[in-house]
Amino acid sequence: MNNKKNNNSRPKRELDFELVAKIVMIFTVIGIIVSSILIFTPPISGEEYAELGLLTYNQSEQKYKAENYPSRIDYNQTTGLSESITLFVMISNHYASTKFFEIRLKIGLQSVLINEDIYGTNETTYFMEEHWIKRILDTDQQWGPSSESKFEFQFSEEILTKLGINEDGYKIIFELWEWNQSLEDFSYTGIHVYLTSLKLDLVS
């Protein structure tokens, strides 16, 4: 009995580079589409959250924008007041229930450290804490930016007496607090925005 193996080989085919290139391109396009969906689609898990924003108003475009924040203002030593700072605040509620928020305003040195989890970090370096504004927001409701959410502020002699003239500048901090029913008081959410490195030029 002849046990010889069949050595007849199949005809070799040359690799079709054009076909391979087309396949690679198709998968690349699919990858780009999937990446875009992941970037621009809201979280599938339905994560609930709140937002706090700080904006300026572009007069020529008549739009609110997150740009051109004041970084330097004049402080008049004769009047004891600085130029006025104007900003616009925005809050949005993306929780599944109505929320009662409060924005608290603080002023401190540029060196102040901000801890998102623990309220009161470096509390002694704040000069002022103001319970600025309270708002009740329904699910997916947004307040501001608008003339109603406008924030105007001036550095006063009292503030500078407390904090001193600081070459590194100052921070104006906005913290978002939420009503806690069990505590019957507001609790810090850890959400904050701030104007940083704001410097004063002394003028007479």
Which CATH number goes with the domain that contains 56?
2.60.40.10
Structural domain contains residue 185: yes
Q: Which residue reads 């051109």 in tokens?
A: 68
Structural domain contains residue 7: no
Average model confidence (pLDDT) across the chain: 79
Domain count, the chain: 1
pLDDT tens digits, residue range 144-154? 999 999 999 99
| Residue span of the structural domain in which 196 resides | 50-203
Q: Which amino acid is at 58?
A: N
- What pLDDT does residue 155 have? 93
pLDDT tens digits, residue range 62-102? 999 999 999 999 999 999 999 999 999 999 999 999 999 99
pTM of the model: 0.72
The residues that bridge with 136 in the sheet, in sequence order, are 100
Backbone angles phi, psi at 105, to 5 degrees: -105, 135
Choice between 46 and 83, residue whose per-residue pLDDT is larger:
83
Structural domain contains residue 28: no
Q: Which residues contact 107 (CB under 8 A, 6 or more apart)?
A: 126, 127, 128, 159, 163, 170, 171, 172, 173
Structural domain contains residue 137: yes
State how far the Cα of 28 lies from the Cα of 41, in Å rounded to an integer: 20
